[in-house]
Amino acid sequence: IEDYRSEGRSIHQQTLNLSANEKEALWQALRENAKKENRQYRYNFFYNNCATRARKIVERNIEGKVCYDSCLLYPSLRASLKHYTASHPWADFGISFLIAAEADRPATFSDLLYAPGEMQIALQTASICSGDSLRPLVKSSCDLLSFPNSQTASSLDKNHPKNKIIDSVFASMCLLLALNLLLMFFERKKRKKCFPIDIFLYLIAGVSGLLLCYLALYSQHPAVHHNWLILWLQPLHLCYAIALCFPAFRKSKIAPAYAQINSLLCLLMIIAAIIVPQHIHPACWPLVAIFVLRSFAYVPPKSH
């Protein structure tokens, strides 16, 4: 409690409405779970975390089943995450970048209870159904520690405008796009390409591609698999960025060919975004446009 107090976080207690047999069964299950060989588990942000494990151990040790009197608040796991990142646009952008198509499939009510705040609300109105009998799952609730500014699922504004999530990040990326257009204007005017910009862009894209590939191939979290952003962000970009450091490579036919092939892949991703089951953060599109436009910088201006 002192840790929560020092961080300014609230603690809400819910007392479960369990029979003597259910209490004993739950106690034995908790003791079994606390054994040294059972203490460690493969953490999964959506499907196997501290909230889901607590809920499931209760559901397994009651006489009957838990019936939730709640409706779906969000169509997908990604949409539910945006509820919590609404006031942190850059964190929202980073999370949207990392999680893949799995987070966009239609979510069940059970899926959405990965968040402790949502689980608290669901348990408050849930019932234990056994035959024809019905009793509330939660007998009483109270605040053990309360801070007025502490964010909980009930205190967050569920009607938070989506544009507040997009604005600062999207505006920043649009500014980068505008600066790139200005740079390209001067490149065409002076008939000289600014390779350091391309090196920087492809270096960042290559490192990002390495991260996405690592998560897709080696991570145990299904929510980061099958990320369609790999069409745009590829590990090969890292090799291309290094090669651009050498004047001989810049003058070769490979340099413009690679950039133009990448622009085609970017265009493919734009088309695929219409049909693939993955939400792409709007701030990604100005960045994709930069890569497409940079490939045109290799096309020499017409001489007069």
Alpha-carbon Rg for the chain, nearest whole angstrom, is 26
* CB 70 within 8 Å of CB 121: yes
Q: Is 182 helix (H, G, I), strand (E, B) or coil?
A: helix
Mean pLDDT by 10 residues, the chain (304 residues): 84 92 96 91 90 94 89 86 87 92 91 90 91 91 81 50 64 95 88 89 96 90 89 93 94 91 90 87 94 79 53
User: 226 — phi, psi (to 5°)?
Assistant: 55, 55
What local confidence, expressed as pLDDT, does residue 165 receive?
A: 46
Residue 243 has a pLDDT of: 96
Distances (CA, A) of 70 to 67, 93, 108: 9, 29, 11
Give the pLDDT confidence score for residue 286 in this predicted structure.
95
Instruction: Please tell me the predicted confidence (pLDDT) of residue 129.
Output: 93
Q: What is the pLDDT, as a whole number, of residue 191?
A: 82
Would you list the domain boundaries of the chain?
2-72+108-145, 163-296
Is the separation of the CB atoms in 203 and 188 below 8 Å? no
- Nearest-angstrom CA–CA distance, 91 and 84: 10
How many Cα atoms sit within 13 Å of 171 on the Cβ side?
A: 7
DSSP string, 202-267: HHHHHHHHHHHHHHHHH-S-GGGSS-GGGGTS-THHHHHHHHTTSHHHHHSSHHHHHHHHHHHHHH
pLDDT score for 167: 75
Of 62, 74, 71, whose CA–CA distance to 29 is shortest?
Answer: 62
Q: What one-letter code names the amino acid at 263? A: S
Which of 284, 287, 263 lies closest to 273, judged by CA?
A: 284
The torsion angle over the Cα atoms of residues 214, 217, 221 and 223, rounded to 10 degrees, is 90
Tell which phi-psi region holds residue 189, choosing left (phi > 0), alpha (psi between -120 and 50) or beta: alpha
Per-residue model confidence (pLDDT) at position 159:
44
Distance, CA of 203 to chain centre: 23
